[in-house]
Every structure is written in C-alpha cells, then in structure tokens.
Amino acid sequence: MSFNPTGQGLTRRGLLAGAAGMAAAGLILPRGARAQEARRGGRLRIGHLGGATSDTLDPATYAAGPVVTAMLAVCNNLVEIDAKGQAVPELAEFEPDAEARVWTFRLKDGVTFSDGRKLTARDVIASFDHHRGADTKSGAKGSLEQVKEIRADGDNVVVFELTSGNADFAYLTSDYHFVIMPANEDGTLDWQSGLGTGGYVLENFEPGVRITLKRRDDYWKPDRAWFDEAVLLTINDATARQNALMTGEVDVINSPDLATLHLLQRRPGLQLVEVTGTAHYTMPMFCDQAPFTDPNLRLALKYAIDRQEVLDKVLRGHGQIANDSPIAPANRFFAADLPQRAYDPDKAKHYLKQAGMEGLKVEISASDAASVGALDMVQLFQQSAKAAGIDLTVKREPDDGYWSNVWLKKPFCVSYWNGRPTEDDMFSLVYARGAEWNESHWDNERFNELLLKARAELDEGLRAEMYREMQGLVSEDGGTIIPIFVNYIDVANDKVAHGEVASNRFLDGWKIVERWWQA
C-alpha cells in the first residue's frame, strides 16, 4: 500500500480554522468533540447556479443544480462519501462477499421518512429500480447495468447481485441519482411527494426560482442538520450571484466568476472554499477515424498543448494540470509517480514525423456549453500547436444542443466530466471498450483486461498497481487530451461555518445543507 487514501496533493485554500475544521469532519471524531463547535439554529441561504424552470424532483432527471443539493438534504443514500473521499455507511452498513459480486446492505434501525413511515427494503429496491429496465429515462441507467438482481431479505436487508465482481460498488450507491425515496404500493417510486429520510422536509419548491427546506425534529442522525431552515435560490447570472453574497442576501454561492475572484477575496468577512476534486476538461479524438488512428499523432497533439498556460489563463490558477488521465489526485489510486507531460513542441514534431503527418491540418469543435472557458482553451491550444507545426482550426459550435449534436458525433471536440469517486466508475463509463460514452472510441486490449481484473480485486495493493498501469495506458495510448483538473470553488460569508469539506462536488459534496452550521 504505497498510496495515501486521503489523496495527497489536495489543495485546500479554504480558510479553515484548523481545530474547528478537524472537529467537524463528520464521522471521524466522537460526537462530544464536535458538538461544541456546531450549533443548532439559524437559516442557510444559498445562491445556486444551475436551476431551471424545467427542474423536477424525479431523480432520473437530476443533473446538477439546486434540486440535487436540496434533495441530498431531504433524502439519504445508502452510502455517503466523506471528506476523505471514502465511502462510509449512511442508511445502511454494507458488506461484499469474497468475490465482491454479492453485496449485502443492512438498513440502520429507527430510520423513518418525514411522514412517519419506516424505511424498508422495498423503498430501497424501488429507488434503484427507478433507474433500471427498458422504460427508465434515467441518466444513471448505465451505472446499474452491472446489477443482475436486487432482492430483499426481510424488511431490513437488501442484496445486490452483480454480473461480475465490483469492489467499488458501495461508492456507486452514493451517487446522487440513488437517493432513497418511498415506494408506492405497486413497487414503483414515489418521487412526486418529495419525501425522504433526511434531516429536512421540502416546504416550497418553485422550479428555477427557489427551494425552501425546513428541519425535521426527529432526524435519525444526531450530529447533522444544524440549520432550522435552508433556502436555495437559483441565481444563474454570475455577477448577480456575487452581488447577492456581498449584499448579504445569501450566505453561500457556488461557481464565482474566476475573472473577479481576487477582488471578491479582498472583501472582509468572506471565505473562499476551494477543493480540487475530480472534475476535468477533456478533448476526445475518435481513435477509429483518420487521422486519429495513429497513436503517434495522438501523442503529438498531447505534447502540443501548454497545460500550464491553459491553467493560468483559462482557470486563473484555480485547478491543477492533468496528465491525460481522468484519475485525479483526489482519487484513491491516483498514480502520482507517473511523469507529468509538459508542453514540448519538439517532441510533438517528432511524433508528428513518426506518424508521417507533418503539416497536419485538423479541426476541433468547441463551445462554452461544454465547460467554462472551453473556447479560450482551444484558442490557446491553436497557438501552442502552431509552434509544433500543427494547423489546428477551431470550429465554433452553437451552445444550444452541444451535447446532443456535437459531442460523440464530431471526431475531435471539447468535453467535460465531473469525474467519479472511483477509478473503476470513471474508466468504465468513458474509457472501456464499447462504453456508451466512450467519447474517444478508444479500445485498448490490455486496458480492458485490467479493468475487469481490478474491478473484482479486493486487495488494495494489487488494485493500486493495476490502476497505476491503466493510468499510464490512458495517458500514453488513449485518445483523449486531458489538460486540466478544475477546482470546485464556493464562497461563503462569516455567518456560516463548516468542517473539512468533501472534494467530490461543489458545496461540500452537495451536502452543505446537512453538514454546515451557523457560526
């Protein structure tokens, strides 16, 4: 075990009082130590990016935005990700069998929905079945394809039988799609009523405007859900979001405008909460389509981008350079010892020559719909590639419909991933042979073989070794340029306090409502 599971190299510029930060790190310390710090009461107001009038409570349609943040306070998952990036039991203790193929989840005692009903295995099964089967419209359908059967064993035990072993299955159940909601009589999911087992009840939901949550007095977790009330306002305009924070209309905002962040930081009474998570920018090339069939050409392009410049100019330093692998320092099995690829026009020329494609002309499709600053990034790429003798033309695509008409359709484009907490999930989703979202059409024999092997392996040391080799393969042979990881940035005022912040999403892993408290 040469890997540090806390994720070395995590940059945390957030202003955490050291002691207060540690004391609140959720499940690590006994309750007494933390209770002095966190206190009950108050109102949390969040200025949230990403709400729309089309938002619904249906977990099949969750993407990001205030609905997900709110519903993670209204509901619980079987498992949650803590500040260290570890999967810890939430609604259920879990246990795999020796092959990691059959997973048993034992529901905790005394958990009730906010209408008083007891949580049972039926509710859990309905919550997962909602994302399975031919008629589901769920974005999480792919993740559950490995599940062969879900069955109840009595009222309190749910057994997941997988098609093959997956040592990370517990992580998967922490996905925000798999919030546990009550089942209807017929076994379908009752998402319409917005009931959950969480610390808050939904009081008012006006899609695209605001969500109001009220604390439940009988919440089963004694050391969570401190605020009496929470209001999530949709503020999609970055300037309006920052003004709302500065004028005290809200306590916390996510995604501040990077261009003016340094000015915001100068204001007293504001704290920056910044974590490097797993989110990354990608530029996939179709490996089965000329000219990208040649690995030398792919390497040439990888050497032709100036990652540091992209980080400095597009993200203004709020991120980290990446090594053409989607596994981030925040992941458990990040291979920190792989050599970092740097901008090297000579090497790019060398590989271009190897490929026999000097003077190459290639077009990349881009739009800011893929990620903030994507167009700026490809323009920088265009300049740096020119020095390497590559004529990169930028095709500017319309924002509207980018994901349906450009991504996965054009042979070379920009894309974005929030990343996944586990290596297996990330690799299976985007880099495995035949995966629905294999955006680069990459198919590497050795990689696919290791993917299956590592998935079923329970020995951490062996897994680390396999994932290291796979990161090397993606980086060297893969069809995706991954220049940067992007930080999750929230800004809060001094009326709210928090413990160590989870790095898997914005707003403390989207669990801010349950985890933070008033200062």
Partner 1 sequence: MSAAEARRRPILRMIAGRLGIGVFTLFVISVLIFLAVSLLPGDIAQQVLGQSATPETVAAFRRELGLDQPLAWRYLDWVGGVLSGDFGRSLANGRPVADLLAARLGNTLFLAAYAAVIAVPLAVGLGLLAALWRGSWFDRIANVATLSAISFPEFFIAYILMFWLSVRMGWFPSIADPGASPRLAEMLGRAFLPAITLVLVVTAHMMRMTRAAVVNVLGAPYVTMARLKGVSRWRVVTRHALPNALAPIVNVVALNVAWLITGVVIVEVVFVYPGLGQLMVDSVTNRDIPVVQACALIFAAVYILLNLLADVLAIATNPRLLHPR
CB of 275 to partner 1, least distance (A): 22
CB of 214 to partner 1, least distance (A): 12
DSSP 183-250: BPTTS-B--TT---SSSEEEEEEETTTEEEEEE-TT-S-TTS---SEEEEEE--SHHHHHHHHHTTS-
The 3-class SS string of 55-70 reads CCCCHHHCCCCHHHHH
Q: Which residues bind partner 1 (CB under 8 A)?
A: 52-56, 61, 63, 134-142, 204, 206-210, 212, 233-237, 239-240, 243-244, 246-247, 249-250, 398, 400-401, 403-405, 407, 415-416, 436-437
DSSP classification of residue 366:
E
Contact 461, 452 (CB under 8 A): no
CB of 246 to partner 1, least distance (A): 5
The 3-class SS string of 276-300 reads EEEEEEEEEECCCCCCCCCHHHHHH
Which helix (H) or strand (E) segment holds residue 502: the answer is: none
Give the span between the Cα atoms of 348 and 481, in whole angstroms: 13
CA distances from 150 to 125, 128, 131, 296 (A): 7, 8, 12, 45
Contact 422, 331 (CB under 8 A): yes
130 or 468: whose CB is closer to partner 1?
130
154 or 248: whose CB is closer to partner 1?
248
88 or 416: whose CB is closer to partner 1?
416
Strands 210-215, 229-234: pairing kind: antiparallel
138 or 156: whose CB is closer to partner 1?
138
CB of 243 to partner 1, least distance (A): 4
242 or 503: whose CB is closer to partner 1?
242
CB of 423 to partner 1, least distance (A): 20
122 or 132: whose CB is closer to partner 1?
132
Residue type, 488: Y
CB of 57 to partner 1, least distance (A): 8
In angstroms, what is the C-alpha Rg of the chain?
A: 23
Quick one: CA dihedral 22, 28, 31, 32, positive or negative? negative
CB of 401 to partner 1, least distance (A): 4
CB of 247 to partner 1, least distance (A): 5
56 or 289: whose CB is closer to partner 1?
56
Give the span between the Cα atoms of 209 and 95, in whole angstroms: 41
Give the span between the Cα atoms of 304 and 387, in whole angstroms: 8
302 or 410: whose CB is closer to partner 1?
410
Q: SS3 for 308? A: helix
Residue 15, judged by CB atoms within 10 A of its CB (0-12, 13-18, 19+), counts as middle
Tell me whether the omega of the peptide bond preceding residue 268 falls within 30 degrees of 0, making it cis. Answer: no
CB of 108 to partner 1, least distance (A): 30
156 or 234: whose CB is closer to partner 1?
234
CB of 332 to partner 1, least distance (A): 24
Exposed e or buried b for every residue in 83-115, given b needs 16+ CB within 10 A? Answer: bbbbbbbbbbebebeeebbbbebbbbeebebbe
157 or 240: whose CB is closer to partner 1?
240
